Amino acid sequence: MNKKKSAPGAPKLAPSRKSKARKTFRVGVMGGTFNPIHYGHLLAAEQARCKFKLDRVIFVPTGDPPHKDSDAVAPSEHRYLMTVLATSTNPYFRVSRVEIDRKGPSYSIDTINHFLEKYTTLNPSIYFISGLDAVMEIMTWSRAPEILEKCVVIAATRPGYDTERARECLGERVFRKIKILKASALAISSTDIRERTAAGQPIKYLLPESVEQYILNHGIYGEAAKRG
Protein backbone atom coordinates (compact mmCIF):
# COMPACT_ATOMS: atom_id res chain seq x y z
CA MET A 1 0.00 0.00 0.00
CA ASN A 2 1.35 3.32 -0.99
CA LYS A 3 -0.98 5.82 0.62
CA LYS A 4 0.32 9.34 0.23
CA LYS A 5 0.09 11.50 3.32
CA SER A 6 -0.66 15.15 2.66
CA ALA A 7 1.65 17.67 4.21
CA PRO A 8 0.45 19.12 7.48
CA GLY A 9 -1.68 22.20 6.87
CA ALA A 10 -2.23 21.36 3.17
CA PRO A 11 -5.84 21.90 1.93
CA LYS A 12 -7.91 18.72 1.88
CA LEU A 13 -8.71 17.39 -1.59
CA ALA A 14 -12.38 17.46 -2.54
CA PRO A 15 -13.93 13.96 -2.76
CA SER A 16 -13.83 12.70 -6.35
CA ARG A 17 -17.59 11.96 -6.41
CA LYS A 18 -20.20 14.22 -4.86
CA SER A 19 -21.76 12.43 -1.90
CA LYS A 20 -25.51 12.26 -2.52
CA ALA A 21 -27.65 13.24 0.48
CA ARG A 22 -29.94 10.31 1.21
CA LYS A 23 -33.63 11.11 0.89
CA THR A 24 -35.61 10.79 4.10
CA PHE A 25 -39.08 9.26 4.39
CA ARG A 26 -41.07 11.87 6.25
CA VAL A 27 -43.66 10.24 8.46
CA GLY A 28 -46.29 12.18 10.38
CA VAL A 29 -47.47 10.34 13.48
CA MET A 30 -50.81 11.83 14.49
CA GLY A 31 -51.29 10.93 18.14
CA GLY A 32 -54.63 11.35 19.84
CA THR A 33 -57.44 9.67 21.73
CA PHE A 34 -59.79 10.50 18.82
CA ASN A 35 -62.85 10.26 21.06
CA PRO A 36 -64.22 10.83 18.42
CA ILE A 37 -62.15 11.93 15.41
CA HIS A 38 -63.53 15.08 13.72
CA TYR A 39 -62.80 17.52 10.89
CA GLY A 40 -60.45 19.54 13.13
CA HIS A 41 -58.09 16.55 13.41
CA LEU A 42 -58.36 15.74 9.70
CA LEU A 43 -57.63 19.28 8.57
CA ALA A 44 -54.74 19.63 11.04
CA ALA A 45 -53.20 16.42 9.67
CA GLU A 46 -53.59 17.60 6.08
CA GLN A 47 -52.16 21.04 6.89
CA ALA A 48 -49.18 19.39 8.63
CA ARG A 49 -48.67 17.09 5.64
CA CYS A 50 -48.50 20.02 3.23
CA LYS A 51 -46.46 22.34 5.45
CA PHE A 52 -43.83 19.75 6.44
CA LYS A 53 -43.90 17.84 3.11
CA LEU A 54 -44.80 14.58 4.79
CA ASP A 55 -44.87 11.42 2.69
CA ARG A 56 -47.49 9.83 4.96
CA VAL A 57 -49.55 10.66 8.02
CA ILE A 58 -50.31 7.76 10.33
CA PHE A 59 -53.14 8.26 12.80
CA VAL A 60 -52.44 6.44 16.04
CA PRO A 61 -55.46 6.20 18.34
CA THR A 62 -54.32 5.70 21.93
CA GLY A 63 -55.01 2.36 23.54
CA ASP A 64 -54.97 2.88 27.26
CA PRO A 65 -54.22 6.60 27.78
CA PRO A 66 -51.83 6.76 30.76
CA HIS A 67 -53.20 10.13 31.84
CA LYS A 68 -56.95 9.39 31.66
CA ASP A 69 -59.69 7.55 33.49
CA SER A 70 -60.38 4.73 30.99
CA ASP A 71 -64.14 4.76 31.79
CA ALA A 72 -64.38 8.26 30.30
CA VAL A 73 -63.02 7.12 26.94
CA ALA A 74 -64.97 5.10 24.32
CA PRO A 75 -63.60 1.56 23.76
CA SER A 76 -60.47 1.56 21.64
CA GLU A 77 -62.01 -0.61 18.87
CA HIS A 78 -64.77 1.99 18.32
CA ARG A 79 -62.21 4.84 18.25
CA TYR A 80 -60.01 2.85 15.87
CA LEU A 81 -62.88 2.06 13.46
CA MET A 82 -64.12 5.66 13.47
CA THR A 83 -60.58 6.79 12.62
CA VAL A 84 -60.42 4.29 9.74
CA LEU A 85 -63.76 5.54 8.39
CA ALA A 86 -62.71 9.19 8.66
CA THR A 87 -59.34 8.81 6.94
CA SER A 88 -60.25 6.34 4.18
CA THR A 89 -60.57 8.89 1.36
CA ASN A 90 -57.12 10.46 1.79
CA PRO A 91 -54.40 8.40 0.03
CA TYR A 92 -51.68 9.86 2.30
CA PHE A 93 -53.44 8.84 5.52
CA ARG A 94 -53.09 5.54 7.36
CA VAL A 95 -54.31 4.28 10.74
CA SER A 96 -52.18 2.18 13.05
CA ARG A 97 -53.30 -0.25 15.74
CA VAL A 98 -49.91 -0.16 17.42
CA GLU A 99 -51.09 1.50 20.65
CA ILE A 100 -54.38 -0.38 20.72
CA ASP A 101 -52.65 -3.74 20.43
CA ARG A 102 -49.77 -2.93 22.76
CA LYS A 103 -50.30 -4.11 26.33
CA GLY A 104 -50.05 -1.53 29.11
CA PRO A 105 -50.14 2.26 28.95
CA SER A 106 -49.66 4.02 25.59
CA TYR A 107 -46.39 5.89 25.76
CA SER A 108 -45.62 8.05 22.73
CA ILE A 109 -41.90 7.25 22.86
CA ASP A 110 -42.66 3.54 22.31
CA THR A 111 -44.78 4.48 19.29
CA ILE A 112 -42.07 6.75 17.86
CA ASN A 113 -39.47 3.99 18.28
CA HIS A 114 -41.88 1.52 16.65
CA PHE A 115 -42.12 3.64 13.48
CA LEU A 116 -38.39 4.42 13.42
CA GLU A 117 -37.78 0.67 13.46
CA LYS A 118 -40.55 -0.16 10.98
CA TYR A 119 -39.26 2.28 8.33
CA THR A 120 -35.58 1.93 9.15
CA THR A 121 -34.60 1.00 5.57
CA LEU A 122 -36.28 4.18 4.25
CA ASN A 123 -34.23 6.55 6.42
CA PRO A 124 -37.27 7.86 8.34
CA SER A 125 -37.84 11.28 9.91
CA ILE A 126 -40.69 11.25 12.38
CA TYR A 127 -43.01 14.24 12.89
CA PHE A 128 -45.16 13.68 15.97
CA ILE A 129 -48.37 15.72 15.67
CA SER A 130 -50.82 16.42 18.45
CA GLY A 131 -52.83 19.20 20.06
CA LEU A 132 -50.99 22.04 21.80
CA ASP A 133 -52.83 21.39 25.08
CA ALA A 134 -51.46 17.84 25.05
CA VAL A 135 -47.96 18.92 23.92
CA MET A 136 -47.78 21.49 26.75
CA GLU A 137 -47.57 18.53 29.12
CA ILE A 138 -44.82 16.82 27.13
CA MET A 139 -42.14 17.23 29.78
CA THR A 140 -44.25 15.04 32.10
CA TRP A 141 -44.42 12.22 29.49
CA SER A 142 -42.32 9.11 29.70
CA ARG A 143 -38.76 9.72 28.37
CA ALA A 144 -39.62 13.23 27.16
CA PRO A 145 -35.99 14.19 26.26
CA GLU A 146 -35.80 11.11 24.00
CA ILE A 147 -39.02 12.18 22.21
CA LEU A 148 -37.60 15.66 21.57
CA GLU A 149 -34.35 14.18 20.33
CA LYS A 150 -35.85 11.56 18.01
CA CYS A 151 -38.61 13.49 16.27
CA VAL A 152 -39.99 16.87 15.34
CA VAL A 153 -42.98 17.67 17.57
CA ILE A 154 -45.80 19.59 15.90
CA ALA A 155 -48.44 21.20 18.13
CA ALA A 156 -51.74 22.02 16.46
CA THR A 157 -53.47 25.04 18.00
CA ARG A 158 -57.08 26.04 18.22
CA PRO A 159 -57.88 29.45 16.60
CA GLY A 160 -57.04 32.37 18.89
CA TYR A 161 -54.84 30.25 21.13
CA ASP A 162 -52.26 32.18 23.14
CA THR A 163 -48.91 30.54 22.39
CA GLU A 164 -47.25 32.70 25.07
CA ARG A 165 -48.86 30.47 27.68
CA ALA A 166 -47.23 27.46 26.03
CA ARG A 167 -43.86 29.26 26.01
CA GLU A 168 -44.18 29.94 29.75
CA CYS A 169 -45.36 26.44 30.49
CA LEU A 170 -42.67 24.62 28.46
CA GLY A 171 -39.81 27.04 29.01
CA GLU A 172 -37.95 28.78 26.19
CA ARG A 173 -35.57 25.90 25.37
CA VAL A 174 -38.29 23.27 24.85
CA PHE A 175 -40.76 25.72 23.27
CA ARG A 176 -38.19 26.55 20.57
CA LYS A 177 -38.07 22.89 19.56
CA ILE A 178 -41.84 22.64 19.06
CA LYS A 179 -43.37 23.55 15.70
CA ILE A 180 -46.66 25.40 16.10
CA LEU A 181 -49.33 24.65 13.49
CA LYS A 182 -52.29 27.01 13.33
CA ALA A 183 -55.06 24.53 12.59
CA SER A 184 -58.02 26.39 11.15
CA ALA A 185 -60.78 23.88 11.98
CA LEU A 186 -59.74 23.07 15.54
CA ALA A 187 -62.61 25.15 16.90
CA ILE A 188 -64.31 21.75 16.65
CA SER A 189 -63.65 19.61 19.72
CA SER A 190 -64.29 16.00 20.66
CA THR A 191 -65.69 17.10 24.03
CA ASP A 192 -68.31 19.24 22.31
CA ILE A 193 -69.27 16.37 19.99
CA ARG A 194 -69.66 13.96 22.92
CA GLU A 195 -71.80 16.44 24.86
CA ARG A 196 -73.98 17.22 21.86
CA THR A 197 -74.50 13.55 21.15
CA ALA A 198 -75.48 12.80 24.74
CA ALA A 199 -77.94 15.69 24.66
CA GLY A 200 -79.44 14.49 21.36
CA GLN A 201 -78.21 17.57 19.50
CA PRO A 202 -76.97 17.44 15.89
CA ILE A 203 -73.30 16.77 15.17
CA LYS A 204 -73.64 16.99 11.39
CA TYR A 205 -70.80 18.81 9.59
CA LEU A 206 -68.49 18.57 12.60
CA LEU A 207 -67.14 15.21 11.47
CA PRO A 208 -67.43 12.92 8.41
CA GLU A 209 -70.92 11.52 7.84
CA SER A 210 -69.65 7.94 8.08
CA VAL A 211 -68.39 8.66 11.62
CA GLU A 212 -71.63 10.41 12.57
CA GLN A 213 -73.60 7.34 11.42
CA TYR A 214 -71.25 5.03 13.32
CA ILE A 215 -71.74 7.02 16.56
CA LEU A 216 -75.52 7.06 16.20
CA ASN A 217 -75.84 3.42 15.16
CA HIS A 218 -73.70 2.16 18.05
CA GLY A 219 -75.09 4.54 20.66
CA ILE A 220 -71.62 5.76 21.58
CA TYR A 221 -71.57 8.79 23.89
CA GLY A 222 -74.97 8.31 25.44
CA GLU A 223 -78.17 6.36 25.16
CA ALA A 224 -79.94 9.52 23.96
CA ALA A 225 -78.15 9.06 20.68
CA LYS A 226 -78.87 5.37 20.19
CA ARG A 227 -80.88 4.47 17.11
CA GLY A 228 -83.64 2.04 16.68
Angle (CA) 64 67 72, round 5°: 65
User: Closest approach of Cβ 44 to ligand NAP, in Å?
Assistant: 5
Nearer to ligand NAP, 124 or 131 (CB): 131
Binding residues (CB under 6 A) for ligand NAP: these are 30-33, 40-41, 44, 62, 65-67, 106-108, 129-131, 133-134, 141-142, 156, 189-191
Nearer to ligand NAP, 76 or 125 (CB): 76
Nearer to ligand NAP, 77 or 123 (CB): 77
Q: Identify the three-state secondary structure at position 155.
A: strand
User: Closest approach of Cβ 130 to ligand NAP, in Å?
Assistant: 4
User: Closest approach of Cβ 28 to ligand NAP, in Å?
Assistant: 10
* Residue whose CB is nearest to ligand NAP in the complex, by number: 131
Burial of 99 (0-12, 13-18, 19+ CB in 10 A): buried
Nearer to ligand NAP, 185 or 225 (CB): 185
Burial 167-187 (b: 16+ CB within 10 A, else e): beebeeebbeebebbebebbe
